[in-house]
């Protein structure tokens, strides 16, 4: 049945391509993204017994999208390819290929219909979000159907059901959900609006998962035993209010009893980690204020037992049904991203403040403050980053700042205790002309914890519209004290260079670089994972047509 559906879709796309020149209403588009990694073993930074370096030597990932619109239909097909890829498991190898996504969408008056692999979310995604993040091998599209209906011009309702994607297969759990969203603008006010919404999601475990849960609980001592059920429900209420220069968003969500994996739960024998059957909730709010020259955003989040997955045995980036908003600054410099906090699903209490003040046309001040804790007061992450930007019309720009960091590396990476770090940084951009520019970065990370202090420098030369050249080096400063463990000093005195070039022609882009990268955390939108060190050549090709 699946093959017949795909064959029908491919035939429709092919027919559309043949008729595209004769029908003005038809539209064809597509995109290709390919990554190639050539692994070069370096015994000083790369751990032994990794297949990419031992014998495979090469790994690749490719995604080819084709989209076609005609006769009131929108159709799409994506082919995915993984050859010795390290995306699924950075220390392992994954090879597979096939149809990664297909969908058919049709608008019939006020009725909106879609079937296939669907990306969607409710609210900010706290109770449900199906999305793709290729850098972390996240693709949890819902394979099913979705229907929406416009009740009025300002109110619409939607519902969906299906199973969520797991690479080229499907998780066993059945998912269904619905949401009602609207827009309200009182007639008596000019600057006041509301955008309320309510959503609910249900998940039913398959028999195999429940059997695995029951068998696991059976190994526990009677005091550690917990209940289990097939069905779990989550609901959220949210609203965005705008009033003049203010914007206020708030979302509250609750979840019925759910079997979750708590890695910090202690058994009666003192062992850490077990599954529990718990209720959960999350509250998230952000208040923003903006006027000429001034911008401020204050965020707060409280999470309690809100792991919502297709199986309690699925961990890391695999198996989540929802998305919890991150509560830390999205840093971009190499050393300011060295210690990044992964969102805590079991318990987290966080606040973040972001300020921006434009003194004049040349000077802008910024300040970010993030604080993340366990509810018992245990500190997880604290960052204070003041920043100043200087601009001289379109000729040059200088950004300088200081990251003041406290990082619970035991919770986030299961090693050590806390990292206290100071990281001053600067970025200078100078434009010689509209087509010639140079960008220089410099950072210094000072800490006595983990591996110690680092410096990083980068020079990037832009020759528009086609070329971009980059030379960078991240250097590990040597420890002055003696008698330290080999783990702490293993990178002392080593260079981690990057030399690369990018060529762009119209919508085509090719990048080639030699890279040495230290082990660390890779994050995207608050979703993080640990990745081992890398040594080799990276090739990236992308094209939009």
Residue 293 backbone zone (phi > 0: left; psi -120 to 50: alpha; other: beta): left
What pLDDT digit, counting tens, does each position of 486-522 carry?
888 989 999 999 999 999 999 999 999 999 999 887 7
CA distances from 66 to 97, 99, 240 (A): 16, 11, 35
Q: Phi and psi for 336 in degrees, rounded to 5? A: -75, -15
Q: What is the C-alpha to C-alpha distance for residues 300 and 467, in angstroms, rounded to an integer?
A: 43
What residues pair up with 320 in beta bridges, in sequence order?
309
Mean per-residue pLDDT, 59-76:
94
Q: What is the C-alpha to C-alpha distance for residues 390 and 358, in angstroms, rounded to an integer?
A: 10
> Using omega within 30 degrees of 0 as the cis cutoff, is the peptide bond preceding 411 cis?
no
Question: Rounded to two decimals, what is the model's pTM?
Answer: 0.89
pLDDT at 272: 78
Q: How many CA atoms are closer than 13 Å to the CA of 30, on its beta-carbon side?
A: 12
Residue 5 reports pLDDT greater than 70: no
Q: What is the C-alpha to C-alpha distance for residues 203 and 320, in angstroms, rounded to an integer?
A: 12
Q: What is the C-alpha to C-alpha distance for residues 402 and 424, in angstroms, rounded to an integer?
A: 4
DSSP annotation of 335? T
H helices, E strands: number in the chain: 5, 31
R_g over Cα of the chain:
25
Residue 266 reports pLDDT greater than 90: no
> Using omega within 30 degrees of 0 as the cis cutoff, is the peptide bond preceding 465 cis?
yes
Residue 268 reports pLDDT greater than 90: no
SS3 228: coil
What pLDDT digit, counting tens, does each position of 358-417 carry?
999 999 999 999 999 999 999 999 999 999 999 998 899 999 999 999 999 999 988 888
Count of Cβ atoms closer than 10 Å to residue 218 Cβ? 8
Percent of the chain with pLDDT over 70: 95
Mean pLDDT of the chain: 92
What pLDDT digit, counting tens, does each position of 106-125 carry?
999 999 999 999 999 999 99
pLDDT at 524: 67
Mean per-residue pLDDT, 242-262:
95
pLDDT at 408: 96
Answer yes or no: are the C-beta atoms of 398 and 427 closer than 8 Å. yes
- The structure tokens 């289990």 sit at 228
Structure-block tokens of residue 102: 């297909």
Exposure string over 137-154, b if 16+ CB within 10 A, otherwise e: bbbbbbbbebebeeeeee
Q: What is the C-alpha to C-alpha distance for residues 515 and 496, in angstroms, rounded to an integer?
A: 7
Q: What is the C-alpha to C-alpha distance for residues 146 and 134, in angstroms, rounded to an integer?
A: 24
What pLDDT digit, counting tens, does each position of 318-357 carry?
889 999 999 999 998 999 999 999 999 999 999 999 999 9
- 438's CB contacts (< 8 A; 6+ apart) are 429, 430, 432, 459, 460, 461, 462
Answer yes or no: are the C-beta atoms of 52 and 84 closer than 8 Å. yes
Structure-block tokens of residue 39: 């692994």
Chain length of the chain: 545
pLDDT at 21: 46
Answer yes or no: are the C-beta atoms of 59 and 83 closer than 8 Å. yes
Q: What is the C-alpha to C-alpha distance for residues 97 and 61, in angstroms, rounded to an integer?
A: 10
Residue 467 reports pLDDT greater than 70: yes
CA distances from 465 to 22, 429, 435, 542 (A): 34, 17, 7, 16
What pLDDT digit, counting tens, does each position of 313-326 carry?
987 788 899 999 99
Q: What is the C-alpha to C-alpha distance for residues 319 and 171, in angstroms, rounded to an integer?
A: 8
Answer yes or no: are the C-beta atoms of 308 and 319 closer than 8 Å. no
- 223's CB contacts (< 8 A; 6+ apart) are 268
Answer yes or no: are the C-beta atoms of 160 and 142 closer than 8 Å. yes
CA distances from 495 to 161, 449, 491 (A): 51, 19, 9
Q: How many CA atoms are closer than 13 Å to the CA of 167, on its beta-carbon side?
A: 12
pLDDT at 316: 78
What pLDDT digit, counting tens, does each position of 144-154 carry?
999 999 999 99
Mean per-residue pLDDT, 27-55:
93
Exposure string over 72-107, b if 16+ CB within 10 A, otherwise e: eeebbbbbbbbbbbbbbebeebbeeeebbbbbbbee
Residue 135 reports pLDDT greater than 90: no
What pLDDT digit, counting tens, does each position of 287-296 carry?
999 999 999 9
What pLDDT digit, counting tens, does each position of 178-236 carry?
999 999 998 777 789 999 999 999 999 999 999 999 999 988 888 888 888 999 999 99
What is the four-CA torsion angle of 119, 121, 324, 161, rounded to 10 degrees? -80
Mean per-residue pLDDT, 450-466:
96
pLDDT at 17: 52
SS3 385: strand
Exposure string over 244-270, b if 16+ CB within 10 A, otherwise e: eeebbbebbbbbebbbbbbeebeeeee
Question: What separation, in Å, do the N-terminal and C-terminal C-alpha atoms of the chain show?
Answer: 31
């Amino acid at each position: 049945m699946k093959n017949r559906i795909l064959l029908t879709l491919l035939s429709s796309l092919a027919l559309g391509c043949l008729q595209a020149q004769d029908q003005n209403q038809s539209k064809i588009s597509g995109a290709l993204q390919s990554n190639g990694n050539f692994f070069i073993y370096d015994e000083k930074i790369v751990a032994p017994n990794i297949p990419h370096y031992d014998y495979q030597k090469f790994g690749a990932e490719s995604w080819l999208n084709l989209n076609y619109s005609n006769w009131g239909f929108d159709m799409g097909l994506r082919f995915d390819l993984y050859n010795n890829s390290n995306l699924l498991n950075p220390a392992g190898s994954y090879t597979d290929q096939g149809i990664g996504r297909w969908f058919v969408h049709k608008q019939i008056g006020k009725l909106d219909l879609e079937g296939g692999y669907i990306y969607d979310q409710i609210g900010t995604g706290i109770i449900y979000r199906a999305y793709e993040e290729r850098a972390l091998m996240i693709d949890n599209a819902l394979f099913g159907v979705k229907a929406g209906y416009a009740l009025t011009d300002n109110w619409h309702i939607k519902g969906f059901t299906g199973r969520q994607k797991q690479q080229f297969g499907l998780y066993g759990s059945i998912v269904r959900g619905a949401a009602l969203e609207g827009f309200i603008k009182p007639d008596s006010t000019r600057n006041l609006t509301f955008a309320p919404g309510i959503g609910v999601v249900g998940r039913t475990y398959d028999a195999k998962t429940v059997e695995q849960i029951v068998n696991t609980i059976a190994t526990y001592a009677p005091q550690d035993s917990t209940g289990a059920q097939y069905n779990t429900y989550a609901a959220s209420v949210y609203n965005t209010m705008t009033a003049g220069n203010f914007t206020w968003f708030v979302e509250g969500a609750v979840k019925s009893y759910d079997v979750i994996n708590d890695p910090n739960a202690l058994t009666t024998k003192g062992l850490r980690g077990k599954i529990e059957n718990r209720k959960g909730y999350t509250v998230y709010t952000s208040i923003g204020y903006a006027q000429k020259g001034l911008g401020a955003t204050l965020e707060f989040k409280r999470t309690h037992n809100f792991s919502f997955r297709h199986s309690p045995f699925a961990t890391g980036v695999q198996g989540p049904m929802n998305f919890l908003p991150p509560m830390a600054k999205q840093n971009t410099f190499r050393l300011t991203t060295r210690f990044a906090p992964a969102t805590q699903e079991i318990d987290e209490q966080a606040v973040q403040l972001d300020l921006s003040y434009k003194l004049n046309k040349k000077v802008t001040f910024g300040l970010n403050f993030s604080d993340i804790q366990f509810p018992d007061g245990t500190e997880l992450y604290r960052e204070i980053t003041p920043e100043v930007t200087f601009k001289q019309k379109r000729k040059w720009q200088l950004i300088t700042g200081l990251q003041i960091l406290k990082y619970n590396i035991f919770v986030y990476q299961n090693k050590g205790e806390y990292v206290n770090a100071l990281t001053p940084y600067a970025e200078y951009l100078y434009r010689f002309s509209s087509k010639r520019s140079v960008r220089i970065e410099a950072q210094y990370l000072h800490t006595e914890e983990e591996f110690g202090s680092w410096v990083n420098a980068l020079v990037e030369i832009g020759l528009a519209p086609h070329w971009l050249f980059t030379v960078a080096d991240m250097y590990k400063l040597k420890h002055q004290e003696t008698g330290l463990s080999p783990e702490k000093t293993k990178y002392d005195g080593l260079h981690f260079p990057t030399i690369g070039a990018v060529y762009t022609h119209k919508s085509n882009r090719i990048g080639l670089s030699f890279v040495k990268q230290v082990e660390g955390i890779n994050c995207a939108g608050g979703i993080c994972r640990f990745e081992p060190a890398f040594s080799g050549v990276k090739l990236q090709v992308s094209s939009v047509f």
